[in-house]
């Protein structure tokens, strides 16, 4: 399934850690928005890791939004994402 992952984190160090983590697992649509295709187990692992990474942040916001095939075809986007969609392998 496809997922949209977004965050809002004030602390530079924690935000940088989140970015590095997501850059290895997803592709960047906007500065704080990523997308990935993975299974349920993989997205749960990503969720747990992101919660751990942001544990010391003040009021962090993390969102992972599932996008089903039917909804994916109806996504409206104007402009180009920062990265192109590519296969992701999560180990």
Residue 65 maps to a domain: yes
Residue 35 maps to a domain: yes
The structural domain count of the chain equals 1
**CATH code for the domain in which residue 47 is found:** 3.30.70.240
Residue 40 maps to a domain: yes
pLDDT digits (tens, 9 = 90+) for 77-88: 888 777 666 544
pLDDT given at position 6? 97
Residue 78 maps to a domain: no
pLDDT given at position 86? 53
Domain extent for 10 = 2-72
Residue 27 maps to a domain: yes
| C-alpha distances out from residue 88 to 27, 35, 41, 43, 47, Å | 8, 10, 14, 12, 16
Residue 53 maps to a domain: yes
This prediction's pTM: 0.84
Determine whether the annotation assigns residue 24 to a binding site.
Answer: no
- Whether the CB-CB separation of 22 and 5 falls below 8 Å is answered with yes
Residue 89 maps to a domain: no
- Whether the CB-CB separation of 53 and 61 falls below 8 Å is answered with no
pLDDT less than 70: residues of the chain: 83-91
- The count of other CB atoms within 10 Å of the CB of residue 35 is 22
């Amino acid at each position: 399934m496809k997922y949209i992952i977004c965050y809002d984190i004030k602390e530079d160090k924690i935000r940088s850690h989140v970015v590095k983590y997501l850059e290895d697992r997803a592709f960047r649509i906007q500065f704080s928005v990523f997308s990935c295709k993975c299974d349920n187990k993989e997205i749960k692992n990503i969720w747990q890791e992101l919660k751990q990474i942001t544990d010391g942040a003040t009021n962090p916001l993390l969102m992972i939004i599932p996008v089903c095939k039917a909804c994916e075809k109806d996504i409206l986007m104007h402009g180009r994402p920062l990265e192109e969609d590519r296969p992701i392998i999560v180990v």
